[in-house]
Structure 1
Amino acid sequence: MSTATNEPVTGQLGQLNGPWPPYTLLGRRWPGPGRPASSATVVAILTASVVAALSVPLDRAGLGWFVTALAGTGALVVARVIRVPEAIPAAVRRDTGHGSWDRFFWGTATVVLLATGTFRAAGWLFTLCLLTATLTGALAITHGRSLRSVAMTYLLAPAAATRGGLWILRGVTRMRGQGSAGVPIRVLATTAVSIALLAVFGGLFISADAAFARVFEAAIPEISPITIFRWAFVGGVTAVLLTAAAFLRAAPPATGDLDRTEGRKVNRLEWAVPLSLLVLLFAAFVVIQLTVLFGGNQHVVETDGLTYAEYARSGFWQLCVVTALTLVVLAGAARWAPRTERADRILLRVVLGALAALTLVIVASALHRMNVYTDTYGLTRLRLLVACCEAWFGLVLVMVLVAGIRIRAPWLPRVAIAAGVLALLGLSVANPDGLIAENHVQRYEETQRIDLPYLSDLSPDAVPALAGLENEAYRSCLLMVIGERTPEDSWRGWNLARETAREVIAEHPEDSPTWCWEQVNRY
């Protein structure tokens, strides 16, 4: 008499006809992959981590970030495409969350954002691109469509790294189980032979040609405890991030509930009354703003006793906060306002449409204020960045008005984020530090006044514009200070803007460095 068992047999990855549906809450929401990581996944993540350790310049923007982005993207593609085959077809299929077409857009955007460090030297700009790349990377990994799904991806990253590490270990165990005992020895032997060949022939080439020796010295950093620590730190962080990303792609959590655009509904009066009063308040403010916009400088001076520029500065930040809070109010109303009856839908369109349209006028007022203030006092990084954010707010409001046609717009969050990403990339192409320098050079030609301390703090992106300054003493001083604050680059930190700046600075030597530093440090 035979006894049937449900134990795995040799070559089988789970119980017969499994994986079985999980019964725990975490298992139902995030069951994890039913198979270990493939050998290709393990090797790809390890390779990308080594590339990152050797490439990333932690202290500056540079080519190494772009190289690391390409290596990481390639590792995730390999992990997604090459997977462990099923020994026995599963009776229960898990949703692996095959991405939609926009996943490729987010992945490309992530690589391009990190590539900005190759042609722009402004550290603040690259920091913004780096932070935005984490958002686009999360959007590329998750298959959810709402902001809550993206936020959940951030929150699950530590757990994904932990579970992903165990997933990778199972993959390594599988590799050892499938291969013979001599595989590690052959790998070590191959590595040793490769190192020996490169060392012998590389040493001969270095001694034979001085140009090759210089290239080799630039490519291979000086080995020191700090360098080894940096390699271990960067490689370890990269391995953790790629492991978490690969695990989330192989076993995305169920985010269907988070993607729902509608929540618990409130009574019609509960939302219509406060928002209608808010619309009346906005309308009163807009009427006054139109009077100021058309009245111009004379109206402000007679009414408030301020210059037009002072008046513009006094309210810009408040209007930016108003715009941001209005977007939050619109999102809440769209989620909780009822829309089952025709009267509900009409009321929703009228109230939210009026609020969005009035907020657009406020956005125009804020941008006009900033334009006036910039014409008077000059352009700065903060003023330029905030004006770009305010313009993006206006674009989102236009999207809200378009979404009001059909009431329901699940596409709105991702399209709004995509517009913000494209705006940031457009700002990178436009060269913000160069625009600021051009603005101050133009103002100097008109007023014969210049802010040397502020301009000297700009990045090498501003050097081509500053080279056009008519005053030779100011020009040479600014170029000298920026040049001395620009470090030499290895291939990891190579940057087009810094390379161009060095060539321009070499053409304008400074004859009075003491006077220059006194002018720059006078504040």
Structure 2
Amino acid sequence: MSEPADSPAPRPEDAQAPQDESPSEPPRNAAPGEPPRPETPMEDSRPEASEPVLAQAAPTPPAKPQAPEDSPAESEPALPQAAPTPPTPQAAPQQPALPYGPQHPAGPLTAVQYQRQAGYYQQLTGPPRMLPPNPRWHRPESVPNPAVVVLAVAVALFGAWTAFHSTGVGIGLSLTGIAFLAVPLAMGDREDLVPRLPGAILVAALWSVAAIRDAGWVVFLCSATAFLLTPLALAPQRRFSGTALTLFMGWLEGLAAAFGWAKRGRRGKDGRTGANMRNVWVVLVTALLLIVFGGLFAAADSTFADLVVRLLPEVNPAEFILRMFLAAVLFPLALLWIYTAVAKPSFDSDRAEGEHRTVSRFELAVPLGALNLLFVAFIAVQLRVFLGGEEYVMETAGLTFAEYARQGFWQLSFVSGLALAVIAVAAWLAPKRAKADRWAARILLGTLCVLSMVVIASAMYRMYTYAETYGLTRMRVWIFTVEIWLAVLFALVIVCCWKLRAAWLPRAVLASAALALLGLAGVNPDAYIARYNLAHEHALDLDYLDDLSDDAVPEFADLTEEQLDCMLYRPWDADEERDLMAWNLGHQRAQELLKEHQNGSAGYCDGDGRVDDYGAPDPGAATEASAFFDTETCSSIDHTTVEGGFDEPGLQPDPNTSGTWLESDATVDTATTIDAWLTCSYEAGPDGYMTVTLQQYDSDIAAYHDLNAKVTAYEAEGFTVDVQGSAPEARYISVSDDPDYQAYRYHYTAGNIRLESLIAHGPIDQSAATASVDLTGQLENLYYAFA
């Protein structure tokens, strides 16, 4: 703009003024492109040296010194071309943009930009706001839906009440795991759903195993793997470093950020508060409506009432507190996994591929070449052994082929795993710049992979030979699974060695592990073990098969009735109905066969299906042996074998307090009827006494129920109960150290009889245990001798 024609000529003192009022330069308190900010007392009192740079502007020129009030320059009229904008009276200082957050015009700041603004922000608002603990978890543009917290609470409560039950795990655990996966996927970015879908399907399939199989070891392996893979399904990583960190709980570092993110959801998208409280009211009103109308429907129809009772488990106060504690643990987990799906943290290393030290071709070829030659030599020896057969092994090693196979299996398995680690390190350090280097790495690493697969095949053949001789077990099935998975890993590594790229390998390794576990669950290992052992000619261990889960029970249908009665005797499951959320398909398929054989024989089963734990083929054969239930039987017990622990004169028979009861129909409780009993009494010192009792019941289940009732009653009386062994062969020791009534009880069942010893006002140490085991054992043997 040109000056007016009538403007006065410039004076000499004006020529000496600073040039900061030129229209071509920005005001000192504004960045380029921004309107000038008004001068305020706060800005004048701030040191100019700490003036921040909110944008990448040119350096601010020195501030203009203020002229004195009597300066001649102030008395002259203002020049028309330099008329400044008059300042706004009482203008409030402009609030600075936050160091990071959605309100900053330039978006989230880097750490360097944040440090440049720290001094300016501190002078206006006090101490500087800190950067988030980990920038990869910070998503300032994301404001959670107010329903997120409600959903996290609902998922946590659902998991606390459905995942675990005293009767086992089943569909409740599957639904809980799938809910912990599905809710975060629904809350995440819809555009990322398709890339996450394959991993989510694998994880959901692993969680579903709990609803199909009853074998606890299979359910544990699949559920634990699904738990570890869930964060990777929500936030997939591309490198081994990020995958390993996420797999081994690296996502836990985002817990604080997850709670901070949920806290921002207190305001809705419209900026108004109270959204969460409204959602809480919605939940409360919904629950109230369900309770009122559900109660009326239950009162109107007994069938509906039974369904409601089954859906709402009985909860005692202790169990309620325990489940609320579990819900308190599951809530932050649910919230963190939801935030993981939203924030999509990247744990991958920032280092570009190839930015690491490599070795020369010679340094790679010497150790790998020597290792390949060693593998070739070992495989040659193995071929000679396998071709020579058992005769060659007997001549050279003095072992049967099965013993020889078992002897070297674990070493070969360790060699396979160690070779995989060596290949991974060598591939990382291998030179790849020159064409010759790449071909050397391909040949050396590929050869080692192929030879390692041959070693795995040798280990699997050894285990197969051992299983053919001695049968399958859970450990042997698991070993086969791991060996097959290792072979798959070597096949994947061979592909990577050829391409010399491994960007896809981390996901392939985890996917192959998940598929291997799903394959194991699909085979139904417990049922396969039972089927294999029953079909092959080797020493049959029915006792081991009896310990398998309900998945194996349908395979026993072809056994004889005697074998089934022996193997399927499970009185502790006779009257116990599983909770609805503990249902699984394996248990359901076994129930019909189990209910048909609840009155079988107790004890351990040998290969012929006989009971050999208690020394008699039929525990109920003494039912009609009335001669046993007579006090004269007590004289056949040798009490002199008991030494120590009792005051002089030791144990002395007391025929006056011995007693018997034969052919009585007296009902002890609603589920138990005693046919007969015999008690042998002894004096134990001046004030003590000891009794040994045998009670005969109408069935094995009746004896077992009465034993449990006695144990419960003794606990109520203040006895400390110790259990030795597992049902139904468990033996119970109940001790009371009360000075007024010091007592020791030893009781157990053997088929349809229950034996118990009582020592009152006598020893309660090891001598009491020795005496009890001795005398009850003699009485039990006498009972079967009369049979």
Could you say whether these structures have the same fold, taking a TM-score greater than 0.5 normalized by the shorter chain as the test? yes
Residues 235, 14 of structure 1: alpha-carbon distance in 2 compared, 3 angstrom cutoff:
farther
Q: Which amino acid aligns with 2:169?
A: A
Distance 1:36-1:188 versus aligned 2 partners, 3 A rule: closer
Q: Is the CA contact 1:32–1:252 (under 8 Å) kept in the aligned structure 2?
A: no
Equivalent residue, structure 2, for 1:93:
none
Structure 1 pair 142/223, CA: closer, same or farther in 2 (3 Å)? same
**Farther off after superposition, 42-51 or 493-502:** 42-51
Counterpart for residue 549 of structure 2: 459
> CA offsets per residue over residues 221-277 of structure 1, 9 Å max, x none?
123223322332332232222222222332234444268665421233333211211
Instruction: Determine if the alignment matches structure 1 residue 392 to structure 2 residue 485.
Output: yes
Partner of residue 62 from structure 1, selected from 163, 170, 178: 170
Paired position in structure 1 for 2:138: 32
- Three-state SS of the structure 2 residue aligned to 1:454 is helix
CA deviation profile, 1:360-386 (whole Å, cap 9, x unmatched): 111110010010000000001111111
Report which stretch shifted further, 173-182 or 317-326. 173-182
Amino acid at match of 2:157: V
Matching of residue 491 in structure 1 with residue 580 in structure 2: yes
Among candidates 524, 530, 536, match of residue 437 of structure 1 = 530
Alpha carbons of 1:43 and 1:242: their partners in 2 closer, same or farther (altered >3 Å)? same
**Is 1:163 paired with 2:271?**
no
Asked whether the equivalents of residues 242 and 349 of structure 2 are also in contact (C-alpha less than 8 Å), the reply is no
Instruction: Tell me the equivalent position of 1:233.
Output: 325
- Identify which range, 372-381 or 63-72, moves more after superposition: 63-72
- The C-alpha deviation readout for 1:141-196, integer Å capped at 9, x for no partner, is 2232223212222343222122211211222x324994466984x66665555444
Match of 1:73 in 2: 181
Task: Specify every segment of 5 or more residues in structure 2 that has no aligned partner in the other structure, as ranges.
Answer: 1-86, 115-130, 606-610, 614-727, 731-787
CA distance in 2, matches of 1:276, 1:283: 11
Q: Which has the larger radius of gyration?
A: 2
2:422 equivalent to 1:334: no
In the other structure, the counterpart of 2:595 is 506
1:434, distance to aligned residue in structure 2 (A): 0.4
* Residues 394-403 or 320-329, more deviating: 394-403
2:139 is aligned with 1:45: no
Equivalent positions of 1:195-344 (< 5 A) are: 195-257=287-349, 262=354, 263-344=356-437
Q: Residues of 1 paired with 2:439 and 2:281: CA distance?
A: 75
Deviation at 1:55, TM superposition (A): 2.0
Distance 1:158 1:28 in 2: 12
TM-score normalised by length of structure 1: 0.87
User: SS of the counterpart of 1:213?
Assistant: helix
Q: 1:371 aligns with which of 464, 472, 476?
A: 464
CA distance in 1, matches of 2:598, 2:412: 46
Q: Which moved more, 1:286-295 or 1:52-61?
A: 52-61
Query: Do the aligned partners of residues 81 and 417 (structure 1) sit closer, same or farther apart at CA in structure 2, a change above 3 Å counting?
Result: closer
Q: Which has the higher helix share?
A: 1
Q: CA distance change for structure 1 residues 257 and 299 in 2, over 3 Å: closer, same or farther?
A: same
Between 1:68-77 and 1:337-346, the stretch displaced more is 68-77
Distance apart, 1:283 and its partner CA: 0.9
Question: Which residue of the partner structure matches residue 86 of structure 1?
Answer: none
Give the Cα separation in 1 of the matches to 2:428 and 2:221: 30
Are 2:201 and 1:108 aligned? yes
Distance change >3 Å, CA 341–CA 174, structure 1 → 2: same
CA contact (8 A) 1:51 1:71 kept: no
**SS of residue in 2 equivalent to 1:500:** helix
Return the letter of the residue paired with 1:338.
Answer: P
User: Given residue 477 of structure 1, which amino acid in structure 2 is its aligned partner?
Assistant: C
**Corresponding position of 1:95:** none
Task: Rate the CA distance shift 1:365–1:101 in 2: closer, same or farther, 3 A.
Answer: farther
| Aligned residue number for residue 14 of structure 1 | 103
Letter of the 2:198 counterpart: F
How many residues are aligned here?
A: 498
Deviations 1:265-300 (A, max 9, x none): 123333321121111111110100111122221211
Question: In structure 1, what is the equivalent of residue 73 of structure 2?
Answer: none
- Tell me how far apart the structure 2 counterparts of residues 394 and 30 of structure 1 sit (CA, whole Å): 36
Q: Distance in 2 between matches of 1:228 and 1:511?
A: 37
| CA pair 196-4 structure 1, distance change in 2 beyond 3 A | closer
How far residue 317 of structure 1 moved from its aligned partner, in angstroms, is 0.8
Structure 1 residues 424 and 164: CA distance shift in structure 2, 3 A: same
Distance 2:274 2:249 in 1: 40
Matched position secondary structure for 1:379: coil
- 1:85 matched to which residue of 2? none
Instruction: Tell me, in whole angstroms, the C-alpha distance in 1 between the residues paired with 2:275 and 2:493.
Output: 63
The separation in 1 between residues aligned to 2:211 and 2:575, in whole angstroms, is 15
Sort the Cα spacing of 1:28 and 1:71 in 2 relative to 1 into closer, same or farther, 3 A: closer
One-letter identity of the residue aligned with 1:205:
F
The answer to whether the Cα contact below 8 Å between 1:148 and 1:258 also exists between their aligned partners in 2 is: no
RMSD, aligned CA: 2.9
Q: Does 1:137 align with 2:230?
A: yes
Counterpart position of 1:148? 241
Higher relative CO (Cα under 8 Å, sequence separation at least 6) belongs to 1
The Cα shift of 1:123 comes to: 0.8
CA deviations 1:485-522 (Å, max 9, x no partner) are: 99632121111111111112123344333576764969
The structure that is strand-richer by fraction is 2
- Equivalent of residue 478 in structure 1, options 561, 567, 576: 567
Cα contact 2:375–2:451 (8 A) shared by 1:
yes
Query: How many Å separate the matches in 1 of 2:415 and 2:575?
Result: 40
Q: Partner of 1:145: helix, strand, or coil?
A: coil
Q: Percent identity?
A: 34
SS, match of residue 15 in structure 1: coil
Is the 1:22–1:28 Cα contact (8 Å) retained in structure 2?
A: no
Q: CA 1:384/1:193 → structure 2, altered by over 3 Å: closer, same or farther? A: closer
Q: In the aligned structure 2, how far is the partner of 1:261 from the partner of 1:244?
A: 31
Q: CA deviation at 1:429?
A: 1.1
Once the two structures are superposed, the pairs formed by residues 85-96 of structure 1 within 5 Å of their partners are: none
